[in-house]
């Protein structure tokens, strides 16, 4: 039997507090937003990438890092994914424009996924990102 929360795949002897630490210390930005698009987890790499400290964004809308022009399309897709429990971006990397706290443009290689609870209900959505700004600008300059 598969355990919906992944206990089968993650060593049962591990201190549960370590999973919080894995999320927080992961070498990539991990953002969890709830069904309302409110940020519920924002790890260290997210602080480094976007410039916002976690207390500045926990409880805030994802809009803080979404360029204004892209918000409407973002939320349309977000709500569609929540309703269906699936993202059309599964298995893909999306290089997406985002906003740093200081206002400058970032380009981020994002992977998106849904987060489900033990009963299979969609709790929210996850974004895992790596900074792609340098590569993106170099590629654009080379075109």
133 belongs to the binding site for its own copies (CB under 8 A): no
Cβ-Cβ contacts under 8 Å for 27 (sequence gap 6 or more): 45
130 belongs to the binding site for its own copies (CB under 8 A): yes
122 belongs to the binding site for its own copies (CB under 8 A): no
Q: Which of 60, 70, 93, 97 binds its own copies (CB under 8 A)?
A: 93
Beta bridge partners of 130: 109
Query: Closer CB to its own copies, residue 40 or residue 97?
Result: 40
9 belongs to the binding site for its own copies (CB under 8 A): yes
Where does 17-89 show beta strands of DSSP type E? Answer: 29-34, 39-42
Q: How does DSSP assign 97-111, residue by residue?
A: EEE-TTS-EEEEEEE
Tokens found for residue 39: 């940020």
Q: Which of 73, 83, 90, 137 binds its own copies (CB under 8 A)?
A: 90
Q: Which of 82, 99, 108, 126 binds its own copies (CB under 8 A)?
A: 126
């Amino acid at each position: 039997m598969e355990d919906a929360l992944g206990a089968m795949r993650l060593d049962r002897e591990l201190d549960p507090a370590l999973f919080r630490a894995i999320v927080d210390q992961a070498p990539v930005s991990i953002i969890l937003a709830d069904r309302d698009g409110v940020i519920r987890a924002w790890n260290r790499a997210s602080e480094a990438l976007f410039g916002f400290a976690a207390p500045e964004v926990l409880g805030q809308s994802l809009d803080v890092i979404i360029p204004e022009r892209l918000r409407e399309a973002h939320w349309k897709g977000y709500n569609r994914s929540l309703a269906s429990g699936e993202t059309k971006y599964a298995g893909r990397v999306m290089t997406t424009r985002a906003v740093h706290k200081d206002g400058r443009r970032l380009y981020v290689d994002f992977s998106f996924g849904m987060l489900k609870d033990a009963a299979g209900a969609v709790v929210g959505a996850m974004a895992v990102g790596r900074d792609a700004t340098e590569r993106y600008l170099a590629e654009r300059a080379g075109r």
